Structure 1
Amino acid sequence: MLTVKNFLQLTPFKTFQLVAGANGIENEITGVNILDNPDASDWLSAGELLITSGYFFSENAEIQKRFIQRFKEINCSAICIKPHIYLKGIPESMRRLADELALPIIEIPYGIAFSKIMNIVMAEISGRMNELNQASLDIHSQFFEISLHGGGMKKIASGLAKMVHNPVVLVDADWSVAAVNDDEQPLIQGTIKKTGDTLTFPIQTITDLPTDFERIQKPITRAIFFEEKEYPCVIMPVYFDTIHYGFILVYQVERPLTDLDYVALENGSMAFALEQMRLFEIERTENRIRRDFFDQLLSGQIKDLDALSAYDTTIDPTLNYTVLILSIQTIGHEADSLMKKKQTEDRLMKSLLSSLTTYAANRFPHLHLFSRKNQLVMLLGTDPKLSSLKTHNEISDTAERIRMYLEQQGQSEREIFCTIGSTLPILELSQSFEEAKKVIQLLEDDTKEEKIYFFNDFYFDSFLVDSISKEQGKKFYTHYLNTLLAYDKDNKTSFTPTLKAYLAHHLNIATTSRALFIHRNTLLYRIDKIKGLLPVDLEQEKNTFALQLALKLYELYD
C-alpha cells in the first residue's frame, strides 16, 4: 500500500515539501491525476494524488477554499502543487484549511515534470491492482446473488450500504425514492421530501450540477445541508444503453468513500439497472394483459356475462361502470429530441400507473385501470341503485381526487385533464368508452380551462359533429354570421361573443350586461349594431335557434 508518507520517502521525491495537512500523511494513494481545469473536478476519484500548477486557483481565496473542500469530499489522498508559475506561493488560507481537513498539500520543486511523478506513482501502486481486482470480483458476486434471487431495491440499497459503510438512497430518473437502506437514519429522514404517498429527493436544492450530468456515467460529489451542517453526498447516475434508470445517493456520514467503495458503487448501479429493467418488464407484461382484456371489453367483443366470467378479473358484473380517460401531456423543452421526449413520456406513464395503482387500491375498490400511450383509462364501478345525481357526484369527486393526486407526483411539468363517458351496465361499456374518446376529440383545439369533462355536457356538440359534415357546418354558419364575423375582424370589435352571450341569456338585457361586465347602454348600442349586420330578424324565435346553432358550428369548425 502506497501512502502519502511513503510517497514523500521515495528517492525521486526527497526534495518535495509537505506544507500543510500533515494529519493526513497516512492517506492511501490509489491513483494519480493531473488537474488544471476547474470543470474536471467531477472526474476525479477517491484516493487519487492530484498534480496541479494551481492555474485555476488564480489568486481568489474563495475559489481556493471551494476546491480544497471539494477535493476532501471526493477523498483525494493529497494535492501536489507546483507554484511560482501561475500561483506565486501556496496561500496561508489554503494551508490552514488543509490542516483543518487533514488533506496534505505538497509543494513540487520547479524542475520536476508532472509525467515523471505520474510514472513513478503508477509503478509503485501497480501491485495494488491484483488485490483490487479480486475485491471487485467479490463485490460483483454479492450483487449477482442479490439480482439472481430477486432481492429487490431494498436489498440492493442495504447491501451497498454495508459495503460502503454509509447510508444509501436509490431514486428513479424523476428523483422519486425507490429504496433506502435505513428508514430511521436521521439524515435520510431530514433530506427526503414526502408528497402524498411518494418520497422524493429534492435535487433542486443542489444548484451546481453539470448539464445532463446523468449521462457522464460517473459519480460526482456535492454537499447537502442538514441541521446547519454540511455533508458530502456522492451521486451516481445509473445510465446504460442510452436509458437513464435513476441515481444512487451515498451520504458520507460515517467516512469518506475509498476506491473500493467506488467499485461497489459501480456494481450497485448495474444491479439497480437490472432490477429496474425487471420491474419495468413485469409491469409492462401485467399492463399488456390488462390492456388486452379491457380492449376486448371496451370494443364490445365480450358479449355476455359467461364470457366475462372466463377472465380472471375483479370486475363486479352487478355494478354499473363509467369509463374515465385521463390524458397526460408532458410539457418538455423544445430542444429535446424525439427520442428523449418518448423516453420521458414512457417513464412518466409507468411511474404514474404504478403510483396510481397503489393509491387507488384501498381508496377506490371498484376502480380498474390500465395505460395506453399518454392516457390512463379507468373503469369506475358504482351502485346501480344510486340516483343519477349521486352517481354523477361520486364520479366527479373520484376523478378530481385522482387528477389532483397525479399532478402532485414527480418533478416534470404536465397537463392533465379527464373525460368521462356515460354510466352503463358492464356489457355496454363500449359506448361509454367511445363517448369519453369523443370528448377528447371535441376538445382537441381548446385551451382546456376546465379539468374534468362529462360527455353529457357535449352531447349536442357530438350530435352536430356526427350529423353535419365540416363543409356543411361552415356553409351554415357562414350564411348567418359572415357579415358579423367580417365586421369584428376589420374593426377589432367583439360583437360575435356579445351575440352569443345575448342569446344564452334569452335576449335579456340586464342579465347579459352583468355577464359581460358592461353598462346597459353599451350593450344596447352593440345589439343595435348586431341587428344591422345579421341577415335575419334577431327577435324571431326560429332565428334565435338558427343563430345559436350557427355559433356552435363556428366554434366546432372554425
Structure 2
Amino acid sequence: MKTINDLFILEGMKEGIVLAGHRGLTRNVQFVNISDTPDVINFLSENNLLLTTGYAFKDDTEKFCELIKQMHELNCSGIVIKISRFFQQLPPEVKLLADNLAFPIIDLPTKHTLGEVSRHILNYLNDHEAEQLYYALHVQKEFSNMLIKGYSLSALVEQLGHLIARPTLLLNHRGEVLAQSHDFLKESMKDIKLEILQKVKEDLHVIREGSTFSIPSKEQVSLTSFPVYTKRQYPSMLVIYDSRSLPYPSSQMAIEQAGNVISFTIVKEQAIEENARLLKNNFFSDLIEMKIQSDEEIYNRSNYYGLQKDSENICIVCTIDTQGEMYETMQLYEKKIGELHNTVYDQLEDEIIHENLNATLFTKGKYFAIILQFPKYSDEEIDKISQFIENVQANFNGDFNLSFGVSHSVPSLKEIPTIYYEAVEAIVTGYEQNLKGFIKFYKTRDLEELLKSLPRKDLKALYENTLKSLAFPKTKEEQELVKTIQVYLDTQCEISETSRKLFVHRNTVKYRIAKAEEILNCSLRDPADSLRIRVALIIGAILNEDESILNQ
C-alpha cells in the first residue's frame, strides 16, 4: 500500500508543501475524496485522503479542528488543501492539533485543480505500471536537476544507489570503475567488488550490452548491467547488485532514466578530454615540426604528457587503409570518418592500457602516432611491439584494415621528429608495395632503393653520360670490358683477385682496365671516378630490370 510520502512524485503533489503533521507522512493511502461540504466526515473511511479548498470551515477554526480529530479517529490518511483560497495561512490551533496527532495537512498550489490531482493519485494507486512510470519520471527529473547543477559522476551514482537501495557501480567500456555507491567501500563488499570486476572483464562484450549474471561467492544474488551509451564505440555500464529484488516502486525503467542522465555527464567529461587531447596533439605537432627551440621546453612539455627524458624512444604510426570502395564512400560523410578515427583512437588507447605499455598516443592528420619508451631497446622489445600491433589489428572491429609503420629507436626526446618521419616513411613504403593491413619496420634505404625513386629519364641520362659507348655494349669485347670493370671495382681494384674471379691472366685484366679508362676518360682508382662508375653500373641493372618487366 502507498503512503502519503509516495505521492510527492506525482504532478501537482510534488509541488505541495507539508504545513503540519510531518510525522504522519507514512500514513497509508487507499482512496481519494474531493469535498467542500460540512458533513464530509460521513463519506470518509480508513485510509481516505481528503482533497478540499477548505470552504466549509473557512470561518470556523473549531469545525476545522473537529474534522481533523474525527478523521484521525477513522485512521484517515490526511488532508490536501488549497490553503491560499480561503485562508491566508493555516490557523495556529489547527497546526498544533495536526502536529500532535501526526495528521498531515498539505498545501496544494492553486494552479492545480483538485480533480486533476485526484486523477493522478487514483491512477497511481490503481495502476502498478503507472506507478513505476511516475517513479521513473521522478528519478529522471531529479537526475536532470543534478546534471544541470554540475554534480559529479560519483554523486549521481551515489544518489542512484540511495534511490534504489542497492549497491551500484559505474564502469567504463573497459570494465574499469568510474564511480561507485558508498556500499562498495565497506569492508564486507570489497572482495565482492573484485569478483564483479573480474566477471565483467571475462564476459565484457556480453555484459556491456546489458545482461544479468552472478559471481561465484554469491551465486544466489543476481547482478544486472545496463549499457550507458556515450560517444565511444562501446558503452559504459551500470552494474546493480541484487537487482532482481528492487524495492517497490523502483524498476529497470527508473535505472535506465538515471543511466540516460549519467551518459550526458560522461559525454560532457569526454568533451573536456577531447579538448585536452587537442592541446596534446598541438604540442606533438610543434615538436615534430621543430617549432620548439628550447631543450628545456621540450623536456618540460614532454614530461607533462608522460614522456621521460632518459629512455629509448620508438615511434609507431598507425593509419586506416584508405583503399576500398567503402572507405571512399564514407569520405562523403565527414562525420562518419570522424567517428571512425575516434574508434581507432579508443582501440589504440585500450590496447596500450591492456598491455601496460609506457606509451603516449598522439594524432597528426590521418596518422595516429604512439611514442613508446623503454629502458633499452632489444629484440625482446621488438617482439613486444609486434605483439602489441598484432593485437590491435586482431581486436579492431571494423570494416577497414589498420597499417603500422615502426621507427628505429633514438635516445633523445629531441630526435622524436626523426623517428616520426621514419615511421611515416615505413607506412608510405608499404603502400607503394600495394600492401594493406601491414606492419612495416623502417629500414634505411640503400643506394639502389634511392636510385629507383628517381625519374627514369634522369637515370638514363646519367648512365649514358658516365659509361659512354659502354652504356649499351654491342660487341663481345665491350661486354667483357663492362664485366671486368664491375669485378675490378667489387674487388677494391685488386688485379690478382679480379683475374682469379674472371679466370683470365693478370695482363689481360691490366689491358682491359687501361682500355676502359681510355674510353671513359677516367681513372678507376680515383675515388670520385670510381663512385660515378659504381653508381652508373647500379643504374644499368635497374634499367635492365625495367626492360625485362616490360618484355614479359
- TM-score between the two structures when normalised by the length of structure 1: 0.46
In our comparison, the structure showing a higher alpha carbon Rg is: 2
Instruction: Point out which structure has higher relative CO (alpha carbons under 8 A, 6+ apart).
Output: 1
